[in-house]
Structure 1
């Protein structure tokens, strides 16, 4: 190919390839999404409070006062105490370390696996793409909670096995979304131009396709964080998740389930409230990032 022909394709590539928003523009777009900014502040404070619980929590983890027993919220114990006389706010903050760590780890791993497999299925296509998508469909039709319970019963319900089990089932949604986006982009002119100047398939995927999927991937990852926290809480509530002496928000819900209809029902409300606030914050942050990364986005 002549030098003029390559130069022409490079110009076409530069003109057609959608550009990622500059950092300043991305930040400006996100800051206009007030709900997302508020959610980010709340989530950061929650992360600091949980992972800094050793310094922030009003009482040490697991400190018991059996003579106190379950008491309602008071000046000494802002969220009350549980049946063992432990300060409930302190226990919630320490338990949040497990719930948040599992949610973030699963979201990261599931996003990496799902993005890689979805991008390969969409760009390579053929029997490889079909095989990946049939495996994806197989995972989607399996009753997730039942399979997770069986896996955790066999491997043991440690935080590590919970992360691996949730990742094994959590990548499928991201893979399908990424594949659909890659299928719509791979026939664009800027991809043809990249092929024309000799770019390899891997380079096209990494340098041209994935950057243009940033918004989709970020939103999918935010959803994965929320769904992972909910899934872990569900498993722990059913008794298949985190086991004593470790605790998570889900296991706290399970332990407090027997107080429904009693004056100590607050023991059920507070862990659920922390789960609800965390999931809402993550979802709103994802919405804000999606709008900021969308070239034609609409900021709230």
Structure 2
């Protein structure tokens, strides 16, 4: 499906403050526990094919082991974030009719969830881009993408017809423009304090970087698995798609980092001293640290 916005009169987006892009499990038919599959690993204790209910799913769509997911071997569940796709698909696209009450809905509901999750993730980044850019043309382009995505999500068939590869490419381009704009303000003095290894997609697994200034670094898609980032300043650093699994973030400043998500934080280690953006939550497992 070609992806364009021709609705110049669309009202201001309800997702602009990202409030509707937060999971509301009570209004979802456990789509992350059914539509998605996973393999037995350090993150999941069992194999589960896509399109089948998890063995821990209760009849009311709640998780029977929710309070003990990590010790029971389901760490991956505590990291996952649907960006609010679950409740949108369940309540808006399928009008509150679950795949249990009408099994025939699963054929479209499960694929729609996978697409809407990606669309909501894009909206998450676009909402931040709107607030971070100072360029009117870029701001207009960002808002056109946002409105077009929201319009497409009003109908299941439109959702399933979206060319995600094309959309990802186009959204990524404007996000990179905003990133360059934001990061340049941190690097305007010509300070070359950043290591040459700090590049998009860099392999920084296990790297010791404690208390370093990483302001303005382009770290898109970088691998920070088990890296030591304690006390680091990541203001203006682009973290789009960066892998923060088990990264040490105690005392780090991520309050002005670019394109950070809840899933990234959930996968990392931090404490009460870690500074976070206002619209992200401190993971529960951090509360006993520090």
TM-score by length of 2: 0.30
Identify the structure with bigger relative contact order (alpha carbons < 8 Å, sequence gap 6+).
1
Q: Where is the helix percentage greater, Structure 1 or Structure 2? A: 1
TM-score by length of 1: 0.30
